[in-house]
Amino acid sequence: MVAIPHTTEAFVVSAPGKAILFGEHAVVYGKTAVAGSLDMRAYALVTPRSDDHVRLVLPDIGVDELFDTNTLPQLTPNMLEHPGMVEQLMGHISVPNGPGRLAILTFAYLFGSLFVDNCGFTVSVRSLLPVGAGLGSSAAYNVALAAALLRLSGRLPAKNASDVINEWAFAGEQVAHGTPSGIDNAVSTRGGFLEYTKGSEARNLRTTNALRVLVTNTSVPRSTRELVAGVRNARDQHPTVVNLVLDAIHETAVSAVSLFENSSDGVEQRLQDLVRMNHGLLATLGVSHAALERIREITALHNMASKLTGAGGGGCALTLVPSDASDETVEQVQSELRDAGFECYSTVVGGKGVAFTESVAAESVDKWIVRMSPLEQNDAVPADPFAAVVAAFVALPASVVAKLAP
């Protein structure tokens, strides 16, 4: 562990979500999958304090906790068999039940692993990713948090910084999920597109071309565990047929990898074809949903291919937007999807990974946040001169928060 350096400047770390483009469910059986970073991000604002407390503010899930650094557990290497065991060391600190519980435990684990109690700071995290929709909201939080605490602790190296961030973000994912694959945090840290196969290290694809997409949230709850079990049961009952389907899903992913890395004429149309094929194959496994099929019908009327992303059974759909589609057409599609009762976001997949922001248009982030906030600013609390900045950050509209990405 190292002493916390006194930070006098505010900064923001942002990290993207993720979308699986090809290979859902088949990846469980050793097939190839392709994922990309989704430019709907989590934003961690770090501000200094003048006392020896650390404050964690997560307004999206109702968390605002102030900790005396002397009471948080201090961890040494190999002290825990698994990061998720950090709760056993929380002592008299009461960790509330609810959606913020795992986020608090992750913070405690990373803090205890990286710092000693020397001075305080506040970390406030806003996320523009829907929670529980299969878009990597947990990984984006853990990547942004790990990057912020590594920078504060002086442990962020000049070289191979992304590898160190990814390592600690994976530990955060272990606190939250037990035995995660590591793909979500790898995509969020590195950005771009990744090819991965179970048991092998993920590989960045050699392409710089981000894809314009629509992400549509059905808001239909689903259980990933139950959907995976359903495919396994179908495979047990009809192994020859289901294995052929899984092989075909694998081939859509392999074909997509080839298209990403060997650009040629007609790539866009062929990707659209693969999206339709991949979804159709997944639907034969029983993991689609009426809401997902309705999204496909609406977007198909505008020559846009859509598919489920993630486990299916609800969750989100991903739609590829043709490069020649006008803004008016995209807005029309979004309007039709919203009229059908869905939440729809226009974004890109395959963009930047984790990133730091110290200023916006040559203005320091703290001054910019206060200026852009709808709040009337009051005098800051003496123990935390940046409290007004935190309050302003919490109150920012999502569209303004998004401008904090580089």
Catalytic choice (39, 117, 184, 384): 184
Six-digit token string for 320: 């590829």
CA distances from 351 to 52, 54, 188, 191, 302 (A): 38, 32, 10, 6, 25
Catalytic choice (37, 124, 127, 138): 138
DSSP per residue over 255-310, as a string? HHHHHHHS--TTHHHHHHHHHHHHHHHHHHTT---HHHHHHHHHHHTTT--EEEES
Is 138 an annotated catalytic residue?
Answer: yes
- Single-letter residue type at 223: S
Residue 345 phi, psi (nearest 5) = -125, 135
Six-digit token string for 380: 């800051």
CA-based nearest residue to 343, from 220, 231, 229: 220
Contacts of 378 (CB under 8 A, 6+ apart): 388
Is 236 an annotated catalytic residue?
Answer: no
Answer for the pair 271, 320: CB distance below 8 angstroms, yes or no: yes
CA distance linking residue 213 with residue 38, whole number of Å: 9
CA distance linking residue 338 with residue 301, whole number of Å: 15
CA quadruple 275, 278, 283, 287: dihedral sign: negative
Q: Which residue has the tokens 């608090």?
A: 104
Q: Catalytic site residues? A: 138, 184
